[in-house]
Chains A and B, each alone.
Chain A
């Protein structure tokens, strides 16, 4: 029925996909979070919107075919179902500052499980404080607390660190408890205070001050893709989609807000089915 694939997103700059325009939170612009792990996500609609907009530039006559036709005024039944479907991108690895390393890539069982599921693989159970990498002490110190390192697990790197990630073997990999992830995630976010100045004076405009949070550079996210195998009783080819979307290998794409001030640049890599995007072999 469906051809399954998935995408890996690596952020090359801070990434801010907002949860609100800041009305509810005063001048703090929060990122969109998954309700269970409380970690940053990119909604499927943002991913689809970005790719569709790109195709509009290069192959405008094919957009309707892949992404569905839009409704036309006064024409019932003018819409059609899209062939390509995107789900939200969830966090896989979050780089967190650690005084002595200075970076540790952190994840938790719930996030690892989603990566397994979207590749159609069996659940793989990691206990909290499993790690991969070289250590010289069994305690790991962060900004706000410390934790014990327990089991060294090679497959954390072999099977869960996508091969497309830059310097994938450079930093320690660490699994923390699902219930600790929200706090450690918030400790690792990129935060900035921004101010809008008046046009002719170097003075802050009224209401022109706000704080923004973003996923830091070097964050790795994953999202599932499904493609209908048949449309109008004709088979649909995955390779053809990749060609028309011009994303045969990898592509630099921008997501979220504040693009003009250096946010949102990412590298996206697609992998088909349970095809291994996790290298190691």
Chain B
């Protein structure tokens, strides 16, 4: 998902392209069962800060095993977790041209040491960078909710 862009010097106003990211993400999970309701939960979770937003995908992630061994519920949870992670990665893409680094991008591991590395980076983030990233994440979640309300398929969501 990460764009292969070179660091360019910023010469003018740069939009975050929140709707492009949000539309793409919502469309990606549109046909999956019971995933899009997470958009609303994401919008609520931003109130609790970056760390909790990032941590949420770990709650949802089932134990790693071959995909055909997953129960119906585990499959749904797996998709939910991927959705949360994809949103986090989109945030990484948005900030890619800037000097703000988003920790924990494209992380698949659930090992304690890997988790610790990401969380350490989160704590190390500059307070003003955190404020900025949280603001943008909030706006991105607003956009996700908007597209969810347009794209949601009733039969797929309880």
Binding site for B on A (CB under 8 A): 99-100, 128-129, 136-137, 139, 141, 143-148, 176-177, 180
Q: Which of A99, A129, A147, A177 contacts B132 (CB 8 A)?
A: A99
Verify if B14 is at the interface (C-beta below 8 Å from A).
yes
A180 CA to B12 CA in the complex, in Å?
10
Inter-chain contacts of B16 with A (CB < 8 A): 144-146
Inter-chain contacts of A100 with B (CB < 8 A): 128, 131-132
Since A100-B132, A128-B12, A144-B139 are in contact, a sample of 4 more A-B pairs with Cβ atoms closer than 8 Å, ordered by chain A residue number, is: A141-B135, A146-B10, A146-B16, A147-B13
* Contact (Cβ within 8 A) A141 B132: yes
Given contacts A99-B132, A99-B134, A100-B128, contact A139 B12 (CB under 8 A): no
Verify if B157 is at the interface (C-beta below 8 Å from A).
no
A139 CA to B97 CA in the complex, in Å?
11
Given contacts A100-B128, A139-B98, A139-B99, contact A146 B14 (CB under 8 A): yes
CB distance from B102 to the nearest CB of A (A): 14
Q: Which of B9, B12, B18, B136 contacts A141 (CB 8 A)?
A: B136
CB distance from B14 to the nearest CB of A (A): 5
The chain B residue sitting closest to A176, CB to CB, is B13
Given contacts A99-B135, A141-B132, contact A147 B98 (CB under 8 A): no
Inter-chain contacts of B10 with A (CB < 8 A): 139, 146-148
A136 CA to B14 CA in the complex, in Å?
19
What 1/0 mask marks residues of chain B from 3 to 20 whose CB sits below 8 Å from any chain A CB? 000000111111110100
Q: Which of B9, B99, B131, B139 contacts A143 (CB 8 A)?
A: B139
A144 CA to B140 CA in the complex, in Å?
9
The chain B residue sitting closest to A147, CB to CB, is B13
Question: In which size bucket is the chain B interface?
Answer: 10 to 19
Binding site for A on B (CB under 8 A): 9-16, 18, 98-99, 128, 131-132, 134-136, 139
A176 CA to B13 CA in the complex, in Å?
9
The chain B residue sitting closest to A150, CB to CB, is B11
CB distance from B43 to the nearest CB of A (A): 15
Q: Which of B11, B132, B134 contacts A148 (CB 8 A)?
A: B11
* Contact (Cβ within 8 A) A148 B98: no
* Contact (Cβ within 8 A) A144 B18: yes
The chain B residue sitting closest to A99, CB to CB, is B135
A141 CA to B16 CA in the complex, in Å?
10
CB distance from B34 to the nearest CB of A (A): 30
A147 CA to B13 CA in the complex, in Å?
4
CB distance from A180 to the nearest CB of B (A): 5
Inter-chain contacts of A141 with B (CB < 8 A): 132, 135-136
A165 CA to B106 CA in the complex, in Å?
49
* Contact (Cβ within 8 A) A147 B12: yes
The chain A residue sitting closest to B97, CB to CB, is A146
CB distance from A225 to the nearest CB of B (A): 35
The chain B residue sitting closest to A149, CB to CB, is B10
* Contact (Cβ within 8 A) A145 B132: no
Q: Which of A129, A143, A145, A177 contacts B14 (CB 8 A)?
A: A145
Inter-chain contacts of A137 with B (CB < 8 A): 99, 128
CB distance from B29 to the nearest CB of A (A): 24
A129 CA to B11 CA in the complex, in Å?
9
A147 CA to B9 CA in the complex, in Å?
11
A100 CA to B10 CA in the complex, in Å?
19
The chain B residue sitting closest to A136, CB to CB, is B128
Inter-chain contacts of B9 with A (CB < 8 A): 148
CB distance from A155 to the nearest CB of B (A): 23
A177 CA to B128 CA in the complex, in Å?
26
* Contact (Cβ within 8 A) A145 B135: no
Q: Which of A99, A143, A180 contacts B13 (CB 8 A)?
A: A180
A180 CA to B14 CA in the complex, in Å?
10
**Chain B CB within 10 Å — which of A136, A141, A145, A180 has the most?**
A141
* Contact (Cβ within 8 A) B131 A144: no
A146 CA to B95 CA in the complex, in Å?
10
Inter-chain contacts of A145 with B (CB < 8 A): 13-16
* Contact (Cβ within 8 A) A147 B135: no
Inter-chain contacts of A144 with B (CB < 8 A): 15-16, 18, 139
